[in-house]
């Protein structure tokens, strides 16, 4: 009986209900399964999530991965983090899913056969620690961000906890105790909006307490990328159990896997197949390393005047580009009335809502990426060996910008300084009218000249640009080597599996 348990591992995964968190967690599941055969063991994965979130998880060709559904009683607009209209709603969302899912998830885990070997949970779901404790298995946190971001925020929160520093978020802040000098223009650039309020501070304290009790932490990064920040994080986590297993998108080896990244499994996903062919055929006609890919993520809510300024900057750069734009009636109206697509048709392509990002970034024609600095996108750019033009919007994105621009020197800042608190358009008509009135007097933070100059620094000639591209290519080689036989990330995931096997043997 014990021998059977040792050789059959059952990982239970709890992703946060958000694409940017669920997709890398799915990739981790695939990477775990892929390592089973070389280690002569059997690995089973159960992912616990909601029906709506599950629609974005492609598990075809992986019979070892199963999805167990949690059924929410949440309001329709709050079934996933992606549907929140403002970051200010984050706390109520996290509280609601804890209330809704705790008992359901516990019952599901108790009914699973074979018994779970461990639970891997998004760090934003600290309540899952209680489930792991109840069923007597290790609890491992998954950090969707970089080691650098984790270390910076630990230092910042320690400073806040000790009462040092002003509470004025408009002040600049320098983060001490790091290998590099890291300074933020304002405290607002850190993901601490509302932290000083009792509710959010209490939630962060819950995360901190869960981390202290965690068996270990999985990070979507690779050791060669972050160096001393991996060491810093290991010191923070009990037992030094930090497994850097990134880039987790490395599990997508084939065209179809790359084409499905983040795509729905329903009609929404099927409708995007035509986009793939259109984009790839257009890219095939471009010169190598000549095209700038522009995507600010699925959650951004920049005002229409700012997006228009971005479009004008792309146009004035005189360089080929692909621009992924979210559905917006006002932006679409501008594109149509100004004949924007006609004006840029010889060297530009506008894609609405969704694009096959992994396919695009790996194409020979792409030479740079204008990104919002979401960690998944940053790692995908690094894996492709691409320099970046950074436009962070909120959360850990300003931290990621610091890493790639100031520490790694593979990115240029476009000049965004103020976080965007809103994430999604409200549905109510009166809210739309208010936003239209607001946009009339909006201050455009990033000018078209900033966009054009940033593009030239990334894509243009000169020693500075070439050195940046060289560094980006070198990190790309490192990223791919991390998942070659004997690479650091492959070794780490095997060490994780071996560790859980030993714990399973002990428990039986």
Q: How far apart are CA 402 and CA 215, in angstroms?
A: 29
What DSSP designation does 86 have?
A: B
CA 32 to chain centre: 19
Which whole number is the average pLDDT over 246-256? 85
Per-residue pLDDT tens over the stretch 207-219: 889 998 999 999 9
How far is residue 372's CA from residue 328's CA, in Å, rounded to a whole number?
18
- pLDDT band (50, 70, 90) for residue 443: confident
Tokens of 481: 């080597």
pLDDT at 1: 36
Report, as an integer, the average pLDDT of 446-452. Answer: 97
For 299-342, what is each residue's pLDDT tens digit?
777 899 999 999 999 999 999 999 999 867 899 999 999 999 99
Statement: residue 431 has pLDDT above 50: no
Rounded Cα gap, residues 106 and 110, in angstroms: 6
Q: Which residue has better confidence, 204 or 345?
A: 345
**What is the band of 2 on the pLDDT scale with cuts at 50, 70, 90?**
very low
Dihedral pair phi/psi, residue 243, rounded to 5°: -105, 105
Look at residue 508 in the predicted model and tell me its pLDDT: 58
| Lowest-confidence segment of 83-92, 328-337, 348-357 by average pLDDT | 83-92
Query: What pLDDT does residue 401 have?
Result: 97
Residue of higher predicted confidence among 394 and 131: 131
Among 143-157, 192-206, 374-388, whose mean pLDDT is lowest? 192-206
Over residues 66-79, mean pLDDT: 77
pLDDT at 408: 97
Mean pLDDT, range 224-249, rounded to an integer: 91
Give the containing element (helix H, strand E) for 446. none
For residue 108, pLDDT beyond 70: yes
What is the token pair recorded at 383? 């894996």
Confidence at residue 301, expressed as pLDDT on a 0 to 100 scale = 76
Give me the pLDDT at residue 86, please.
67
CA distance 455 to 444: 18
* Residue 23 main-chain phi, psi, to 5 deg: -65, -50
Judge whether residue 171 has pLDDT over 60. Answer: yes
| Phi-psi sector, 409: left (phi>0), alpha (psi -120 to 50), beta | left
**3 state SS of 289:** coil
Band of residue 141 on the pLDDT scale cut at 50, 70, 90: very high
Extract the tokens encoding 463: 């020693």
| R_g (Cα) of the chain, nearest Å | 22
| 268 pLDDT tier (thresholds 50, 70, 90) | very low
Higher pLDDT among residues 95 and 264, named by residue: 95
269 — pLDDT class (breaks 50, 70, 90): very low
Q: Give CA–CA dist 138/507, Å, rounded.
A: 10
Average pLDDT estimate for 377-392: 97
Question: What pLDDT score does 428 carry?
Answer: 39
Q: How high does pLDDT run on average in the chain?
A: 86
Q: Would the pTM of this model clear 0.85, i.e. be above it?
A: yes
**247 preceded by cis ω (within 30°)?**
yes
- Residue 59 CB coordination number (10 Å): 18
User: Domains of the chain by range and CATH?
Assistant: 2-153+192-246+484-507 (3.40.50.2000), 265-481 (3.40.50.2000)
Q: Is the pLDDT of residue 224 over 60?
A: yes
What is the rounded CA–CA span in Å between residue 475 and residue 211?
Answer: 30
**pLDDT for the residue numbered 240:** 85
The span from the CA of 188 to the CA of 192, in Å, is 7
- Of 35-39, 85-89, 284-288, 488-492, the least confident: 85-89
């Amino acid at each position: 009986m014990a021998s059977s348990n040792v050789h059959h591992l059952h990982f239970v995964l709890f992703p946060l209900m958000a694409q940017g968190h669920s997709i890398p967690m799915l990739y981790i599941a695939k990477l775990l399964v892929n390592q089973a055969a070389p280690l002569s063991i059997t690995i089973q994965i159960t992912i616990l999530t909601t029906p709506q979130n599950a629609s974005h998880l492609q598990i075809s060709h992986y019979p070892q991965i199963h999805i167990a559904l949690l059924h929410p009683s949440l309001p329709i607009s709050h079934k996933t983090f992606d549907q929140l209209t403002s970051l200010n709603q984050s706390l109520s969302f996290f509280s609601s899913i804890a209330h809704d899912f705790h008992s359901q998830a516990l019952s599901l885990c108790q009914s699973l056969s074979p018994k779970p070997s461990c639970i891997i949970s998004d760090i934003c779901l600290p309540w899952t620690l209680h489930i792991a404790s109840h069923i007597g298995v290790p609890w491992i946190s998954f950090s969707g961000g970089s080691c650098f971001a984790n270390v910076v925020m630990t230092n910042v929160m320690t400073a806040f906890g000790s009462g040092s520093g002003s509470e004025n978020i408009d002040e600049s802040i320098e983060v001490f105790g790091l290998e590099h000098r890291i300074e933020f223009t304002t405290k607002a650039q850190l993901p601490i909006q509302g932290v000083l309020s009792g509710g959010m501070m209490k939630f962060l304290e819950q995360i901190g307490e869960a981390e202290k009790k965690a068996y270990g932490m999985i990070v979507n990064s690779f050791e060669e990328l972050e160096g001393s920040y991996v060491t810093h994080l290991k010191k923070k986590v009990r037992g030094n159990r930090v497994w850097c297993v990134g880039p987790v998108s490395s599990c997508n080896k084939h065209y179809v896997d790359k084409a499905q990244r983040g795509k729905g499994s329903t009609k929404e996903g099927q409708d995007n197949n035509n986009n793939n062919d259109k984009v790839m055929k257009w890219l095939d006609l471009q010169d190598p390393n000549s095209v700038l890919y522009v995507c600010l993520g699925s959650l951004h809510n920049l005002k229409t005047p700012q997006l228009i300024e971005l479009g004008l900057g792309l146009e004035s750069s005189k360089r080929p580009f692909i621009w992924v734009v979210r559905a917006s009636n006002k932006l679409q109206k501008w594109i149509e009335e100004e004949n924007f697509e006609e004006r840029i048709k010889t060297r530009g392509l506008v894609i609405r809502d969704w694009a096959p990002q992994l396919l695009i970034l790996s194409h020979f024609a792409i030479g740079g990426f204008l990104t919002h600095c979401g960690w998944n996108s940053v790692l995908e750019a690094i894996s492709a060996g691409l320099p970046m033009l950074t436009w962070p919007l909120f959360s850990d994105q300003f931290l990621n910008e610091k890493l790639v621009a100031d520490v790694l020197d593979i990115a240029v800042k476009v000049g965004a300084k103020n976080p965007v608190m809103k994430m999604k358009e409200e549905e109510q008509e009166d809210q739309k009218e208010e936003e239209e009135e607001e946009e009339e007097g909006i201050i455009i933070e990033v000018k078209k000249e900033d966009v054009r100059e940033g593009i030239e620094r990334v894509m243009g000639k000169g020693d500075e640009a070439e050195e940046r591209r060289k560094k980006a290519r070198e990190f790309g080689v490192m990223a791919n080597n991390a998942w070659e036989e004997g690479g650091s990330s492959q070794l780490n995931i095997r060490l994780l599996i071996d560790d859980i096997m030993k714990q399973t043997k002990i428990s039986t």
